[in-house]
């Protein structure tokens, strides 16, 4: 079966440099993510054959539902992997929103369920449950949601955290949006095995990824279920390996050591097990210093931890020639990964680097079906050529 490739929609802004923050702390790019730019980005993803775009959620970004709904009219086939926080809405409201989105977009909604990794951020939204409590509630939420979508009549449910009486969706989404879910803690594994369609992991070396997938497969088997699996990575792909690593060096060289130090201090306080694993890959930034070169942060062939020096969440990138990046993707795909959610700085330009350089190599290897590409490029007022970005003052290099 062909793998699925998705891109990222940075609703907090974009940049030619790495953006610090995330995972409970503020972040913003010097290329504003207004609607015009997001339309350009969505168009670039669609033209380059990406199936969907992932949206973030949190204090630092725009609302995922509203943003993606505004992009439906200017795209044709692109799907939207919308972030949903169970603690911030009722299951019935989520079911209604998903049904409306599917109906109006002609079935282009996917859901990324985000339990909420940081208590201080959750409290800002009015959610005061502990981490374990959030996972308990998430399981109840997804249980109710699945019952609503089964359309077997009114749902009555009394759980530890959630209760509904006579809940029934007026419209059932068609198709039912697949549920993507990530997490590295025992509580996260239980919820994923019981309710997710696709389990997501961040970009660790293949051996560690394989161990995590085996863990979830075991839990899913016990629950009588089978899941798909996906990975979240950044990418820097160029014609040659030297060009790719030169770009990684540029990104690294533009980092302020004080920003790295502040970011690592903040991320060290994270409650997320996945974030702890990300920091461990570069030893909390210990290998970064004056004069550091990008290769010093390569922890596996073509796997670079430089992004995680300042960015919370996904902190690794595939760096190399188009052929080398295709090699690494093939290696990960052999582990049983079905979905690859990628991104790069800046996101419009990097979508073209990947689409024009790596994608044909994946097709040649049989990892990606040729007919899954968008044969007819979308050309409209929202999608200028990549060359435009060099001169447009709004998105000039910073």
pLDDT digits (tens, 9 = 90+) for 286-320: 767 656 799 999 999 999 999 999 998 889 999 99
- 151 DSSP 8-state letter: T
Q: Which residue has the tokens 């993510």?
A: 33
Which residues 6+ apart lie within 8 Å of 247 measured at CB? 236, 238, 319
pLDDT over threshold 90, residue 19: yes
Residue 220 has pLDDT above 80, yes or no: yes
What are the b/e assignments for 343-353, b being 16+ CB within 10 Å? bbbbbbbbbeb
pLDDT at 7: 98
CA distance 267 to 280: 11
Structure confidence at residue 312 (pLDDT)? 85
**How does residue 216 score in pLDDT terms, banded at 50, 70 and 90?**
very high
| Res 271 pLDDT > 50 | yes
Does residue 275 carry a pLDDT above 90? no
pLDDT of residue 149: 96
pLDDT at 9: 98
What is the per-residue pLDDT for 285?
76
Q: What is the mean pLDDT of the chain?
A: 90
Distance of alpha carbon 138 from alpha carbon 152, whole angstroms: 22
Q: What is the pLDDT of residue 69?
A: 98
Identify the residue with better confidence: 199 or 60.
199
Q: List phi, psi (to 5°) of 236.
A: -130, 100
pTM of the model: 0.91
For residues 263 and 320, the model is more confident at 320
Question: What is the H or E stretch that residue 317 is in?
Answer: strand 317-321
Q: How high is the pLDDT of residue 373?
A: 44
Q: What is the pLDDT of residues 334-391, one digit of tens each?
A: 999 999 999 999 999 999 999 999 999 999 999 999 864 443 433 333 344 444 444 3
8 A C-beta contact, residue 385 and residue 57: no
Q: Does 381 or 154 have the greater pLDDT score?
A: 154
Other C-beta atoms closer than 10 Å to the C-beta of 254 total 12
253-261: average pLDDT: 91
Residues 155-213: pLDDT tens digits?
999 999 999 999 999 999 999 999 999 999 999 999 999 999 999 999 999 999 999 99
Least confident span in 90-99, 185-194, 256-265: 256-265
For 6, 18, 370, the CA distances from 239, given in Å and listed in that order, are 21, 21, 21
Using the predicted structure, report yes or no on whether residue 50 has a pLDDT greater than 70. Answer: yes
- C-alpha to C-alpha distance for 341 and 255, rounded to whole angstroms: 25
pLDDT (0 to 100) of residue 379 = 36
Chain centroid, CA 294 distance in Å: 23
Tell me the three state secondary structure of residue 105. Answer: helix
| HSE-up (13 A, CA, CB side) for residue 168 | 6
Confidence band (pLDDT; 50, 70, 90) for 393?
very low
Residue 118 has pLDDT above 90, yes or no: no
Question: What confidence tier does 267 reach under pLDDT thresholds 50, 70, 90?
Answer: confident
397 torsion bin: left (phi>0), alpha (psi -120 to 50), beta (else):
beta
């Amino acid at each position: 079966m062909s793998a699925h490739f998705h891109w990222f929609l940075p609703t907090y802004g974009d940049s030619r440099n790495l953006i610090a923050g995330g995972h409970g702390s503020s972040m913003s790019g010097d290329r504003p993510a207004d609607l015009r730019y997001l339309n350009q980005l969505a168009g670039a993803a669609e033209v380059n054959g990406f199936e969907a775009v992932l949206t973030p959620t949190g204090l630092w970004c725009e609302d995922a539902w509203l943003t993606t709904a505004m992009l439906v009219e200017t795209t044709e086939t692109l799907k939207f992997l919308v972030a949903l926080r169970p603690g911030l809405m009722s299951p019935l409201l989520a079911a209604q929103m998903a049904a409306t989105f599917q109906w109006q977009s002609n079935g282009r909604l996917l859901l990324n369920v985000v339990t909420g990794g940081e208590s201080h951020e959750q409290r800002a939204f009015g959610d005061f449950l502990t981490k374990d409590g959030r996972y308990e509630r998430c399981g109840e939420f997804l249980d109710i949601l699945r019952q609503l979508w089964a359309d077997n009549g009114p749902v009555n449910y009394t759980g530890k955290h959630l209760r509904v009486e006579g809940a029934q969706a007026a419209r059932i989404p068609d198709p039912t949006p697949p549920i993507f879910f990530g997490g590295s803690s025992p509580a996260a594994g239980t919820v994923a095995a019981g309710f997710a369609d696709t389990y997501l992991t961040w970009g660790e070396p293949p051996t560690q990824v394989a161990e995590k997938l085996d863990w979830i497969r075991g839990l899913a088997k016990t629950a009588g279920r089978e899941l798909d699996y996906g990975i979240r990575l950044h990418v820097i792909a160029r014609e040659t390996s030297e060009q790719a690593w030169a770009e990684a060096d540029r990104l690294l060289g533009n980092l302020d050591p004080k920003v790295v130090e502040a970011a690592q201090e903040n991320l060290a306080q994270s409650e997320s097990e996945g974030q702890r694993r990300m920091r461990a890959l570069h030893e909390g930034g210990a290998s970064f210093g004056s004069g550091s070169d990008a290769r010093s942060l390569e922890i596996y062939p073509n796997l670079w931890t430089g992004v995680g020096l300042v960015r919370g969440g996904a902190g690794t990138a595939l760096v190399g020639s188009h052929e080398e990046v295709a090699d690494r993707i093939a290696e990960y795909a052999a582990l049983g990964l079905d979905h690859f959610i990628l991104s790069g700085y800046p996101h419009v330009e990097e979508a073209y680097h990947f689409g024009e350089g790596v994608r044909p190599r994946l097709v040649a290897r049989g990892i990606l079906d040729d007919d899954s590409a968008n044969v007819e490029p979308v050309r409209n007022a929202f999608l200028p050529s990549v060359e435009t970005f060099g001169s447009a003052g709004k998105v000039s290099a910073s």
